[in-house]
Structure formats: C-alpha cells, structure tokens
C-alpha cells in the first residue's frame, strides 16, 4: 500500500509556489511551449502571480486556467490540503471540519468539496474476472417504513453497484432497479462472458441471455455464501458508504448523491495509493489544456 502521510504531504507541498510548480509540471512535463515563440522555451515564475513568463518574449502562461483552482482566492496549498483530507480519510470529512481546518467560510468549504468530488468521477470500466452486482437504497428511515425493498412511492433513492473482486467498484444513482435499468449498466461496465454474482432479484434474470455467466445467492432464504457464490464484496462497500454518509454527512440530497458516490468509490478504487488524487488533478488539467475535457467551473 502506498501510504501518504501528513508528514509526506507537508514535505512535498510546503507552500503555494510548490503546488503551482506541481501543476505546471503535470501539464507541461516536457517544458512549456511558448505560443508566441512556437517552441519550448524556459519560463520563470512571475512574482505575486500564478503565472510564468517566457524568458525569450515575455508571454505569460497560466497553468491553473480551466481547472477548479482558476480565479480562486483560496490559497493553492489549502486546496491541496483539502484534496489530501478527502483522499486519505476512510469515511470522508465534512465541509464543517474543512472550514475549521482551513479557516475559510462554510460556503467556500462546501463549494471546494463539490469541486474536488467532480475530480473523483472516473470511468472504471471494463470489469472482468469475477464480478458482483447489487443494489441498495439511500435515504433515512421514516416512521412507517417497512423492511425489504422500498415501494415505488418511497423517498429512498436506488443505487446500483458493480465491483470486480480484488479490483474496483462503480456506484450509480438509478431511477429504479428494473431489468431495463440494471442490464444496460452491466453491459456498459462488464465484459461479456464474465462471471457475475447477484442476489435473487428478478431483474438479473436475463444476464445469461446477454452473454454473461451468472450465479445467484438466495438471500431470502438466509443464505449468504455458497462456495465462491456471494455478494459480500459489494455489500461491504455499501456498508462503508452508508456508515460514512450517516456518520459524517448525516444526510445527502438526491441532487448531489452521485458526487458522494464518486467520492467513496474513488477512495475504494485507490485504497492502495493515497496519493492518487494529486495525480488525477494533474492529468485532468493536462486534458483540459489539450482540449480533451470540458472546462472545470472555477470557484470564487
């Protein structure tokens, strides 16, 4: 496991200037190509600005343009520290705690978290080998709620999850758990002929017709493991997700739920590399500069 401690963080990112150099090197690993000189030239940092100047012609380059850091008045190291906290804290961290640690307003902390969560949205497909699929429901319990799957008038939000054993997970907010909703998720995320383990939900009944190997575990009969047939991996992720959201955030609106799912899935998928978020922000910034990704909305 690649641990990234607070000591490691402070040593690698001691101040704003070093954080800016990190972004520069991530976007321009082979040096900055000056658009005026039309060649790679040496650039110097402009004092008091988040920019570099070409040594030959003086043209300015702004590495943060198009990223979540653009036009932000919050120090760049504070952004990096928020990223560190979000990627290294197992069950998540609240915006209120970030407000206290960074000395920013709650509004700024909340918006920073949502911007960083957008970075945690990643495509984990394709899944292969042994895969588990399951669904759960997010939302607090209300008086009168019955045990079992919520009905169509329930306030709870359905979420579908796919996990590759000893691999990565994907969690998606869905409108329901019907066959026409769940099977396209499998087809988009899982390679054909893969072994897929599920519970007895009827929506999974056509997986065999779709070209997948399929085994079920009959939870309704209080059976949870039969040899290699189980859904314990994805259920373990659901447990981590619900404990984290219930303990740290208490409740999450349907509007923002997918962002929270992305956050927990990202940490799960990079559990062996706590530095992964810094590599991701560098890669995303490089894609923005290359025109391969839409511009990230800047925070004020």
Give the chain's domain count: 2
103 and 137 belong to one structural domain: no
Would you state the pLDDT for residue 296? 44
- Residues 65 and 85 sit within 8 Å (Cβ to Cβ): no
**Average pLDDT for residues 25-32, to the nearest whole number?**
92
CA distance 100 to 163: 35
Residues 247, 285, single domain; the answer is no
- 1: in domain: no
Residue 113 within a domain: yes
Kindly state whether residues 198 and 283 are assigned to the same domain.
Answer: no
Tell me if 219 is assigned to some domain.
Answer: yes
Residue 20 lies in a domain: yes
Q: For position 249, what pLDDT does the model report? A: 77
CB 51 within 8 A of CB 64: no
**Mean per-residue pLDDT for 41-51?**
93
Q: Which residue has the tokens 């209120």?
A: 96
H-only helix segments in the chain: 6-12, 16-27, 76-88, 95-102, 106-119, 179-189, 232-244, 254-269, 276-290
Any domain includes 263: no
Same domain, 94 and 158: no
CA–CA gap between residue 114 and residue 132 (Å, rounded): 29
What's the CATH code of the domain at 203? 3.30.420.10
Neighbours of 52 (CB within 10 A): 22
69-110 pLDDT, tens digit per residue, is 998 999 999 999 999 998 888 778 888 999 999 999 999 999
Highest mean pLDDT among 63-67, 75-79, 274-278, 285-289: 75-79
Task: Give the integer Cα–Cα distance in Å for 46 and 55.
Answer: 11
SS3 126: coil
Please check whether residues 282 and 175 belong to one and the same domain: no
Could you tell me if 60 and 77 lie in one domain? yes
16 and 82 inside one domain: yes
Residue 105, Cβ density class (10 Å: 0-12 exposed, 13-18 middle, ≥19 buried): exposed
For the CA atoms of 59, 63, 65, 68, the dihedral, rounded to the nearest 10 degrees, stands at: -170
Whether residues 104 and 25 share a domain: the answer is: yes
d(CA 192, CA 299): 42
Confidence at 1, pLDDT banded by 50, 70, 90: low
156 and 209 assigned to the same domain: yes
Q: Which of 82, 137, 88, 139 is nearest to 111 (CA)?
A: 82
- What is the per-residue pLDDT for 183? 96
**Integer Cα distance of 168 and 266 in angstroms:** 9
Residue 188 pLDDT: 95
Q: Domain of 84?
A: 6-121+270-290
Q: Residue 296 carries which DSSP code?
A: P
Alpha carbons 228 and 195: distance in angstroms, whole number: 11
Which residue is it, tokens 């709650």?
Answer: 106
pLDDT at 142: 52
Mean pLDDT value across the chain: 88
- In a domain, residue 260? The reply is no
264 has pLDDT over 70: yes
Q: What is the mean pLDDT of residues 137-143?
A: 68
Mark out the alpha helices in 39-159 (DSSP H runs).
Answer: 76-88, 95-102, 106-119
CA Rg value for the chain: 22
Give the per-residue pLDDT at 134: 97
Q: Residues 203-261: pLDDT tens digits? A: 999 999 999 999 999 998 999 999 999 999 999 999 999 988 887 877 788 888 998 89
Specify the pTM: 0.85
Q: Is residue 261 part of a domain?
A: no
Comparison of pLDDT for 150 and 247, the residue scoring more: 247
- What is the average per-residue pLDDT within 15-19? 96
Shared domain check, 103 and 145:
no
Do 154 and 229 share a domain, yes or no? yes
In a domain, 264, yes or no: no
167-197: per-residue pLDDT in tens? 999 999 999 999 999 999 999 999 999 999 9
Pair (23, 79) in one structural domain: yes
Other Cβ atoms less than 10 A from the Cβ of 158: the count is 21
Question: CA 202 → CA 91, 180, 198, 235, distances in Å?
Answer: 32, 11, 10, 18
């Amino acid at each position: 496991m690649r641990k990234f401690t607070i000591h490691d963080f402070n040593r690698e990112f001691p101040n704003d200037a070093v954080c800016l150099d990190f972004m520069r090197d991530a976007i321009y690993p082979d040096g900055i190509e000056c658009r005026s000189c039309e060649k790679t030239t040496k650039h110097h940092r402009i004092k008091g600005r988040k920019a570099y100047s070409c040594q030959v012609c003086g043209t300015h380059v702004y590495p943060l343009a198009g990223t979540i850091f653009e036009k932000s008045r919050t120090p760049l190291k504070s952004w990096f520290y928020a990223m560190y906290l979000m990627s290294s804290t197992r069950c998540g961290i609240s915006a209120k705690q970030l407000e206290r640690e960074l000395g920013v307003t709650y509004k700024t902390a909340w918006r920073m978290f949502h911007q960083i969560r957008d970075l945690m949205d990643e495509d984990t497909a394709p899944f292969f080998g042994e895969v588990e699929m399951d669904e759960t429901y997010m939302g607090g319990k209300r008086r009168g709620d019955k045990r079992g799957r919520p009905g169509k008038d329930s306030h709870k939000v359905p979420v579908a999850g796919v996990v590759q054993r000893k691999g990565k997970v994907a969690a998606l907010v869905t409108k329901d758990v019907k066959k026409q909703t769940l099977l396209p998720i499998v087809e988009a995320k899982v390679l054909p002929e893969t072994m897929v383990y599920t519970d007895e939900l009827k929506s999974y009944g056509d997986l065999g017709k779709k070209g997948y190997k399929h085994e079920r575990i009959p939870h309704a009969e209080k059976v949870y493991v039969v040899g290699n047939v189980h859904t314990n991996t994805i259920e373990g992720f659901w447990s981590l997700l619900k404990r984290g959201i219930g303990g740290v955030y208490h409740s999450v609106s349907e509007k923002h739920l997918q962002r929270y799912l992305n956050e927990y899935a990202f940490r799960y998928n990079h559990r062996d590399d706590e530095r992964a978020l810094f590599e991701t922000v560098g890669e995303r910034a490089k894609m923005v500069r290359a025109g391969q990704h839409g511009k990230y909305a800047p925070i004020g």
